[in-house]
Amino acid sequence: MSNHVKRLYAAVSVLAGHGDIKQRLIKAYEENLAVIDDDDLPIALKQAFADCRHKMSQVDPLNGEGRIRASVRKMSIAEADACAHKLLDLYSDIIRYEDSAQESLPLSIAEQVAVPPFLIKSTSH
């Protein structure tokens, strides 16, 4: 599992926990997602993650609270919930992307392509 998958999993785990949605969203983002560089993500996920990052850091902080906390504080409960759902969507998308990027291995011997005998190198001379 890649580092980004692990971080998104950890963020989703925090979001699924107990407590106020805004506090869970702040904790999930600050502890797991703030360090992810958009350019390290698959192209298909870059824009969605960049949009989420923008939403989580669009408000100028007051009294040293931090940009993430200020942005989430200004969100309505519905906006915070939508942002949490977006993070869940990103996690499921990156899981699907990683699964599709892996080589498909045959599920049984019957599915393996037989090598024609003329292509097999003989060991006897």
Say what the pTM is.
Answer: 0.76
Quick: pLDDT tens for 46-84.
Answer: 999 999 999 999 999 988 899 999 999 999 999 999 999
- Burial class, 99, CB count within 10 angstroms (exposed 0-12 / middle 13-18 / buried 19+): exposed
Asked if pLDDT for residue 105 goes beyond 60, the answer is: no
Q: 7: domain range?
A: 3-95
Q: Flag whether 39 is in a domain.
A: yes
* Within a domain: 123: no
Q: Which of 10-19, 20-29, 106-115 has the lowest mean pLDDT?
A: 106-115
Name the residue among 30, 35, 100 with its Cα closest to residue 67: 30
Q: Is residue 100 part of a domain?
A: no
Domain count for the chain: 1
Report CA-CA distances (Å) from 112 to 106, 108, 116: 6, 7, 12
Give yes or no for a contact between 30 and 68, defined as CB atoms under 8 angstroms apart.
yes
Residue 55 within a domain: yes
20 φ, ψ (degrees, to nearest 5):
-65, 135
Asked whether residue 108 is assigned to any structural domain, the reply reads no
pLDDT-derived band at 1, boundaries 50, 70, 90:
very low
Sign (positive or negative) of CA dihedral 51, 3, 89, 32: negative
Instruction: Note whether 55 and 83 are within 8 A (CB).
Output: yes
Query: Is the residue at 29 inside a domain?
Result: yes
Are 91 and 29 contacting, i.e. CB atoms less than 8 angstroms apart? no
Does residue 34 lie in a domain region?
yes
Residue 41 has pLDDT above 50, yes or no: yes
Residue closest to 28 by CA, chosen among 17, 44, 42, 39: 17
Is residue 12 included in any domain, yes or no? yes
Instruction: Report which DSSP code applies to 2.
Output: -
